[in-house]
Amino acid sequence: MMAAQPLDSPIMHDLSDIAHWLRHHPVHHTSQVHSTLPDPTFDTGGETLVSFSTNNYLALANHPRLVAAAKEGLDRYGVGNCESRLLGGDLEVYRELETRLGALKHKSDAVLFVTGYMTNIGVLSSIVKAATLARLHGFRTKKRHKYAYYSDEFNHISIREGIQMSGALRYNYRHCDMNHLEALLKAGAEEGTTPLIVSDGVFSMEGTIAPLPDLVALAERYGALLYIDDAHATGILGANGGGTSEHFNCYSDNIMQMGTLSKALGAIGGFVAVERDVAEVIRLTSSAYGFTCPPPPDQAAALLAALDLLEQEPQRRQRLWENQRYFIEKMAPLGYTILSTQTPILPVLIGDAETCQRYAIELRREGIHVDAVQFPAAPVGKARLRFMMNAGHTRAQIDHVVGVMARLAGRELRLVA
């Protein structure tokens, strides 16, 4: 029998050409394989580095209480759920976690997803279709709506993809520009659309905080639902780590609050906090909930421990903000532009993408890991080093990274193509 001949596929040729180009591109980023995870130090390639790029803001991922809770979960449940919750894979530990997450966000319920990315895709793609899906079971809505999403231009890609999957209209407004948003909402009202406003709470590449009170005011004025992605705010903003709403003391029945569990809370998963009737609709209509497994139950057990620590150890959040202020104070005399100082995400503008990559390489040589963020994650010509502060950073580590940045200031740092 003759061996099958490889298909002469044009797309495979294209992919091969792209891979060859990427390998030789001067700003090509290849993921590195590490021996340990940052808390915030980590081991890689036989050396120990200090991470200024980890999402593990409160240094909880390796906390003994989370590890112990996860081990107990493993002993009780095993390593995986292996079934959709909708079809019989539900567990008490998931429901307990959802209740706690809802309470953190001042909502009566929450819906747990396997990741934050899947939460945005699963909720945003389905909520505008809920009435249509319910029609299959005999439901008849009082009015048919023409839905339109109004999305901040710097929203996370999972938001953009979720909106695209929904099939609804989408309008982007300039970053945190409420005048532009209102102009778009006004035009939509004249066309008879039903609006949904979507914004990050904290913007991951900018470090800015969405003007939530203004967003709520516009949502109420134009009858919009407001969806806030609190991935980088949950556990960080607010007196108790409740996120953007707690930061502003701004709550509304019209807000859907999404969050991730893989950042400040140190594990994995995503959720959306809503009122109980809305939660039930999401559970029945979102494919990303009903047609896949939830996070492993040991992660849910670890997250319950993380929520306990969020309440019991507020000093972690205090240290995080003290480190944030210390870094800003030490960087101030060096002449760098920090794009935003509102949050623990502190993007230092470099501008040129190749120069930014060279900065990251030089910092790596000094035992420091910092992400060089460039297009498409940042606008062309606005590449930046994204410093992310951590409760586990020491003053000596911050002094060291600032000292390296001082030495690099003004040097000609260019990559050789």
Which residues 6+ apart lie within 8 Å of 384 measured at CB? 205, 339, 347, 348, 349, 350, 356, 372, 373, 378
d(CA 243, CA 237): 5
Catalytic residue check, 129: no
Neighbours of 402 (CB within 10 A): 19
Amino acid at position 291, single letter:
F
262 catalytic? Reply is no
> If you search the block for the tokens 């001067």, which residue do you land on?
26
Among 63, 105, 107, 232, the one annotated catalytic: 232
Calpha distance 348→39 (Å, rounded):
22
Query: Under the phi-then-psi rule, with left for phi > 0, alpha for psi from -120 to 50, and beta for the rest, what region is 29?
Result: beta
Query: What phi and psi, each to the nearest 5 degrees, are found at residue 391?
Result: -65, -25
Q: Where are the beta strands (DSSP E) in 52-146?
A: 109-113
The catalytic residue among 53, 125, 199, 204 is 204
Alpha-carbon gap, residue 279 to 105, rounded angstroms: 14
Torsion of CA 61, 66, 70, 76, to 10 degrees: -170
Residue 256 Cα distances to 5, 210, 225, 241, 352, angstroms: 53, 15, 8, 17, 38
Is 263 in the active site?
Answer: yes
Q: Which of 263, 369, 382, 393 is catalytic?
A: 263
Are 302 and 66 in contact by the 8 Å Cβ rule? The answer is yes
Q: Which residues are catalytic?
A: 204, 232, 263
